[in-house]
A and B are shown apart, each in its own frame.
Chain A
Amino acid sequence: MQQAELLSPTTGWALIAGLGIFMTIIAVVVRLRLVRNTKDYIIANRKVGLGFGVGAVIAVWTWSMAIVMSAASAYTWGLSGLLWFTVPNGIAIIVLAPLAVRLRKIVPNGYTIPDYVRKRFDSPLAAGIATLVMLVALLFSILINLKGTVLVTSAVFGLDQIAVLTVVLVIVTAYSYLGGLWTSTITGTINTLLILVPLAVIVLFALDAVGGPEGVFTSLEQANPVYLSIFSAEAAAAFGLTLSLGLLGASISDQSFWQKAWAVKPQHLSRTFIWGGSLFYPIPIVAGILGLVGLASGVTLAEIGGDAASIGPYVLVRLGLPALLVALYVLVVLNASYSTIDGAFAAISSLISVNVLVPLFPRLRAKPLFTLTKLSIVLFGIAAGAIVLSGWDFVSLVLLAQALNASILVPLLLTITWRRITGAGFSWGIVLAVVIGLTVRWAYGELAGILTITAVSTLVPVALGLLSKREFDFADFTRRLGENREIEARINDSAAAQQA
């Protein structure tokens, strides 16, 4: 491989700003043509079709870190690493299909998971905990995506990290503010195209640049035949099991997906998540090939600054590919980053509107409700920027996010499927899991921590549920919800909201 040479920073800024301007134009069109009130803004009037649903689900789930981490997994563990990174990622989306259908049957006109939790348990505390966990998880997903963007833009263009973070945040906050879920869905679908297709072309040119895959294959075989085996147990033990639990927690605790579960037309619901999970698979697999090229070329960890996540951009820059192809790779990462941040903002707006503004300010009219809902996006954009500028360690952030996601996983599954779970079981399950699990993780490491969190968050709600004599009647609950459409009435006042 040749010596690495950075591309012009101007090209980097042009990519960041150009993609932002393109998405903003789409957001303006969407805002003018599709968004008339808070209901359009936070739930897209429940009119999202199959194509937009699938495209948006893939976009939200494709984190910028997923593109660089799939290459990192392959670089570190070979094909078994790629397998353990890829398969649980898709499953985490596919399992949402039956859950989303079940939840949509129970609450046909729902908005957010915490709202369902509040109504099911009649407990503002349980709803408050769910809201807090979900908001923090969304904030973390924004930060982690910013990290991926910074990693790639600094490796390829040598851009200043703080400047990139600030500009990306401002751009995505601005266009997310304009159209809410509709914008996120439509821009996300375009982001998915700009991830899937260029990535395939880039990787094929990269294989061509190294003289074809035959050399890579032989090098890997000679270096260590285990690199070409998908059945190595080493990768599973090292990160596969922890990652699988973390990913399940991440998807199930992510309001971005539940928001879509209530926004997609009911006849397309199950297909949206199954197709979304299935069509997501090529992204990490194709991106992972770059990690294998780096591994076969003998790139050392020291050469890439000790961070395996840098292997993808490093390989492309070192291969001496045309600048256009390297820039295209950065565009893929930017699309992944923008779409997830944008999806997180849309989810935040729904949580703030339905779970904070509506219950706390019962007399708030449609116009200020719509305005405040949109402003919540700006507020979280500023919060994300402040956290980044404070220099908080990203690794700690990722681990904390994983712990929070894992703590809500089982209580949430039980809330959707089990008659016996109580509000106390839900709340204490999450709180104790976080407190005990984080302590165990601090003392005994990541795997012990996440297993403890999962165990405590399972045992507490199950034990309290079994001790309780009450059985929840889902059918009666659905009937009662059908008679009470308070939130619907408040957020669906188009005329008043139009003026906002």
Chain B
Amino acid sequence: MNYAITASILAVIVAAAYLYHVYSALEVSIRESHGAQEEDADWQHEASIDYRVLSSIAGSTLLIFLLSAAPVFWWLVPFSGIAAAVGIIVAFRLERRPEAARVD
């Protein structure tokens, strides 16, 4: 029960933070929609995506592998859902940074 209760508490906190970031980003979108023209891309700085792709696939395989390794991981793997929501919050925060104007 401890894991489920912990997840419930985390879920409420993460959901509140997530919705706050959705609201802030919506405000920014509304301001932008009344303002500047489209942005021209600077593709010169585009980085290689290979390692990110590989680590993503390896990460998902690892999560499933953990389920085969020991029962204790079954308690931990569901937390990846909450972690993914945190990942989207990070995405909202990243786009606010000045260097986010650069092509990734």
Given contacts A49-B28, A267-B41, contact A229 B68 (CB under 8 A): yes
* Contact status A79-B95, CB under 8 Å: no
By beta carbon, the residue of chain B nearest A85 is: B64
| Distance (whole angstroms) from the CB of B63 to the closest CB of chain A | 5
By beta carbon, the residue of chain A nearest B82 is: A200
Q: Which residues of B contact A205 (CB under 8 A)?
A: 4
Given contacts A186-B22, A230-B61, contact A286 B11 (CB under 8 A): no
For the complex, give the distance between the alpha carbons of A79 and B78 in Å: 15
Q: Which residues of A contact B41 (CB under 8 A)?
A: 104-105, 108, 266-267, 269
| Distance (whole angstroms) from the CB of B21 to the closest CB of chain A | 6
- What are 23 contact pairs spanning A and B, CB under 8 A? A46-B38, A50-B92, A52-B22, A52-B29, A79-B67, A79-B68, A82-B67, A87-B57, A94-B53, A193-B88, A196-B81, A196-B84, A197-B82, A199-B78, A212-B75, A213-B71, A265-B39, A279-B88, A282-B63, A282-B81, A283-B81, A285-B77, A286-B78
Identify whether the interface residues of B are mostly helix, strand, loop, or mixed.
Answer: helix
For the complex, give the distance between the alpha carbons of A55 and B77 in Å: 21
Given A108-B40, A201-B7, 15 other A-B contacts at CB below 8 A?
A40-B33, A50-B91, A55-B88, A86-B60, A186-B22, A190-B19, A196-B82, A197-B14, A200-B78, A204-B4, A204-B75, A208-B1, A274-B49, A283-B81, A285-B80
Interface residues of A in 29-55 (CB under 8 A from B): 30, 33-34, 36, 40, 45-55
Given contacts A34-B30, A282-B83, contact A274 B53 (CB under 8 A): yes
Whether, in the assembled complex, A13 has its beta carbon less than 8 Å from a beta carbon of chain B, the answer is: no
Residues of chain A having any CB pair with chain B under 8 Å? 30, 33-34, 36, 40, 45-55, 58, 79, 82-83, 86-87, 90-91, 94, 97-98, 101, 104-105, 108-109, 182, 186, 189-190, 192-193, 196-201, 203-205, 207-208, 212-214, 216-218, 228-230, 265-271, 274-275, 277-283, 285-286, 289, 292
Q: How large is the interface on B (under 10, 10 to 19, 20 to 34, 35 or more residues)?
A: 35 or more
The 3 closest A-B pairs by CB, nearest first: A266-B41, A51-B92, A213-B74
By beta carbon, the residue of chain B nearest A89 is: B60
For the complex, give the distance between the alpha carbons of A201 and B85 in Å: 13
Given contacts A52-B29, A199-B81, A266-B41, contact A189 B61 (CB under 8 A): no
* Contact status B74-A289, CB under 8 Å: yes
* Contact status B71-A286, CB under 8 Å: no
| Distance (whole angstroms) from the CB of B18 to the closest CB of chain A | 5
For the complex, give the distance between the alpha carbons of A199 and B81 in Å: 7
Interface residues of B in 70-102 (CB under 8 A from A): 70-72, 74-75, 77-85, 87-89, 91-92, 94-95, 100-102
For the complex, give the distance between the alpha carbons of A267 and B18 in Å: 22
* Contact status B79-A54, CB under 8 Å: no
Given contacts A50-B94, A104-B41, A267-B102, contact A192 B88 (CB under 8 A): yes
Indicate with 1 or 0, residue by residue over B17-51, a CB within 8 angstroms of chain A CB atoms: 01101100110111011000011111100100100
Given contacts A51-B21, A208-B1, contact A201 B91 (CB under 8 A): no
By beta carbon, the residue of chain A nearest B38 is: A46
For the complex, give the distance between the alpha carbons of A390 and B34 in Å: 46
For the complex, give the distance between the alpha carbons of A284 and B52 in Å: 20
User: How many A-B pairs with Cβ below 8 Å?
Assistant: 223
By beta carbon, the residue of chain B nearest A195 is: B81
Q: Which residues of A contact B40 (CB under 8 A)?
A: 108, 266
| Distance (whole angstroms) from the CB of A248 to the closest CB of chain B | 14
Q: Which residues of B contact A104 (CB under 8 A)?
A: 41
| Distance (whole angstroms) from the CB of A434 to the closest CB of chain B | 31
Q: Which residues of A contact B71 (CB under 8 A)?
A: 212-214, 216-218
Given contacts A45-B33, A197-B14, A214-B71, contact A266 B64 (CB under 8 A): no
Q: Which residues of B contact A266 (CB under 8 A)?
A: 39-41, 43, 103
Contact of B81 among A34, A94, A197, A218 (CB under 8 A): A197
* Contact status B78-A270, CB under 8 Å: no
* Contact status A193-B18, CB under 8 Å: yes
Q: Which residues of B contact A48 (CB under 8 A)?
A: 29
By beta carbon, the residue of chain B nearest A94 is: B53
* Contact status A277-B49, CB under 8 Å: no
Q: Which residues of A contact B46 (CB under 8 A)?
A: 101, 270
For the complex, give the distance between the alpha carbons of A213 and B3 in Å: 12
For the complex, give the distance between the alpha carbons of A108 and B38 in Å: 10
For the complex, give the distance between the alpha carbons of A46 and B46 in Å: 19
By beta carbon, the residue of chain A nearest B70 is: A217
* Contact status B7-A274, CB under 8 Å: no
* Contact status B95-A268, CB under 8 Å: yes
By beta carbon, the residue of chain B nearest A79 is: B68
* Contact status B68-A230, CB under 8 Å: yes
For the complex, give the distance between the alpha carbons of A90 and B63 in Å: 13
By beta carbon, the residue of chain A nearest B45 is: A267
Given contacts A204-B4, A289-B74, contact A268 B100 (CB under 8 A): yes
